[in-house]
Amino acid sequence: MQKVNQEEIEIQRKQVLNSNCTVELVAACTIGQGIKRLKQLEEFDALEAYSTLKNPPVFFIPSSGSGSRMFQFLFEWLESGESSPLVEEFFAKVGDLALRQLEALKNQPIDDRVNFVKRLLDRDQLNFGELPKGLIPFHQEGDRIFSSFQEQVRQAATIIEEKAHVHFTIQKTFENQISENIDLLKLPVECSFSYQEPGTDAFCFDENGNLVEEDGEALRRPAGHGALLTNLNKIDAEVVLVKNIDNVQHSSKSHVTKRTWKIITGLLKQLQNDLCALDENYSTERLQEFNEKYELLSEDELKNFDVDQLEIMLSRPTRVCGMVKNEGEPGGGPFWVKNKEGDVFKQIIEKVQISANADQQEIVASSSHFNPVFMAVSKTDCYGKRLDLLPFRDNDAYFIVEKSHKGKTIKYRELPGLWNGSMSNWNTLFVEIPSETFSPVKTVLDLTKPAHKA
C-alpha cells in the first residue's frame, strides 16, 4: 500500500473513532431571521437583473443514484411474499404511471403480480432497480414518455433562452445509455458528464477501528455528495444552478419553477453588485441597510464587523439557496450555527449533524423551512475573479456513516456535504421559494402526485 494511502487511512481512522460530528445550533433560520421573503416588486427587480446576465448559467445536477430505493418496497415484497399498503397502492395506481406505457409492460397483465414486478426489476428485464434514477420513466405526454434526465434537459431549454448547458454527475457505466436517452429529444442543449473521482472514496473500518479488507484490498465506499465539490470546481461557468435529478415537474406544472430559477439567479447578481457598492462606499449605516435587505449576517457578525471582514466577503463565492416551507418532507434545513471559534453564521444542516440533546431538538422543532437543493451559486468573487472552491470548504464538517456489510457493522467518513460543509465559508443568502418548486421522487408512487401528471 502506498505511503500516501496509509497516511490517509490513519487520518480517516482517527476521524471515525474520535469524531463528534454534531454542530451547535443557535437558532433556526426563519422569515425575517435569516430567510428572506421577497415582495412582488423585489421579484420583478430580480427578474430584470437576470435579463442582464452576460453569460447564461449552467445546470449542475448530481445524478449517480440508482432507482433501487424507488422500488425497495417491491423488492421486499418479492423476497418475503407479504404484501403491504405500499404494494397494494402500487398495483392500484400502476396504470397511472408512465412506465406502464413501456412496450415491455404495456401488455403485461397486472393480475400476474409477481411476473409484472419481475419484468420491472430483474436484471435481464428492465432492471429498474439498478438503472440510474434519471433513466426511470417519470412523465407522460400523449403517447410520449420522458425520463428524469430528459425532463431536466427540457426544463433547462425553456429557462435559458440561449443554448442551455446541463452538467450531470453520473456513474460512468451508464454514460452511453444516458447520452442516447437524452439525444432522443433532439434539442439544441449541450450536455456534459463527470464522475465521482474514485480517489475520494472513503476507507471502511470495523467497530474497533480496524481497516476492513476484501481479497487483500481495502474496502472503500463513495464519500457522499461532498466528493462532487471537485466536479463543481471544474465547471466552466460563472454561475451554476444546483438541483437534484429527481426534483423535476411535469412540463405542464413547471412554470413556477422556471420563474423561480430566474428570480434566485437575478438575486445572486443583485447581491454581488450590492456587495461591490458597499465596498466602494462603506459605512456602518450602509452595512446595516445591506444586511436588512439580504439577512446575510448574524447579530454577532454585525457587532464584530470591520473593513477586514468586508474584504473576506468580497473574496468569497456566493450562493442563493431557495428554502421551502416545511410540510413534512425529509431534508436538511437552514440554521444559525456556532463554530469552534464562537462565531455564529448561517448553514444548511443535515439531521445526522444534530445532537439528540433536548435543547438542540427544540431548535429543530422550531424550524419552519427545509432545503430542497435549489440554489444559484457564483464561482467568482464579487468582482468577477474566478475562484478555487476547495479552500472554502470546512474540512471538519464531515459525516460518519455506519452501515451493515455482510452481517457486520462498518463505519466510514463522508466528505463535508456539497451544500453543507463544502460551502460553509461562502456568502449565503436563504430565500423562501414556492412549494411547487419541490416535487421529489423517493418512491415510484410519488410519480402519481399532481406535480408529475399532466
- What pTM did the predictor assign? 0.94
**Separation of alpha carbons 353 and 330, rounded Å:** 14
Summarised one tens digit per residue, pLDDT across range 205-246 is 999 999 999 888 999 999 999 999 999 999 999 999 999 999
What residue ranges do the domains of the chain occupy? 3-58+240-452, 69-130
Q: Which of 5, 18, 380, 56 is nearest to 220 (CA)?
A: 5
Give residue-wise pLDDT tens across range 316-372.
Answer: 999 999 999 997 665 689 999 998 888 899 999 998 899 989 999 999 999 999 999
Q: What is the DSSP string of 209-223?
A: SPBPEETTEE-EE--
| Whole-number average pLDDT of the chain | 94
In the chain, the percentage of residues whose pLDDT exceeds 70 is 98
pLDDT in tens, 171-184: 999 999 999 999 99
Buried b / exposed e over 2-30, threshold 16 CB at 10 Å, is eeeeeeeeeebbebbeeeebebbbeebbb
- Model confidence band, residue 1 (pLDDT cutoffs 50, 70, 90): very low
Contact 76, 117 (CB under 8 A): no
The answer to whether residues 376 and 57 touch, using CB atoms and an 8 Å cutoff, is yes
Cell of 254: 413547471
Strands in 58-208 per DSSP E: 58-62, 137-141, 144-147, 165-169, 190-194, 202-203
Grid cell at residue 203? 476507507
Q: Which residue has the higher pLDDT, 245 or 17?
A: 245
**pLDDT for the residue numbered 331:** 63
| CA–CA separation, 238 and 235 (whole Å) | 9
Name the H helices within 52-98.
Answer: 72-80, 85-93
**Mapping DSSP to helix (H, G, I), strand (E, B) and coil, where does residue 451 land?**
helix
Mean pLDDT in residue range 396-401: 91
Angle at 433 between CA 265 and CA 452, to 5 degrees: 100
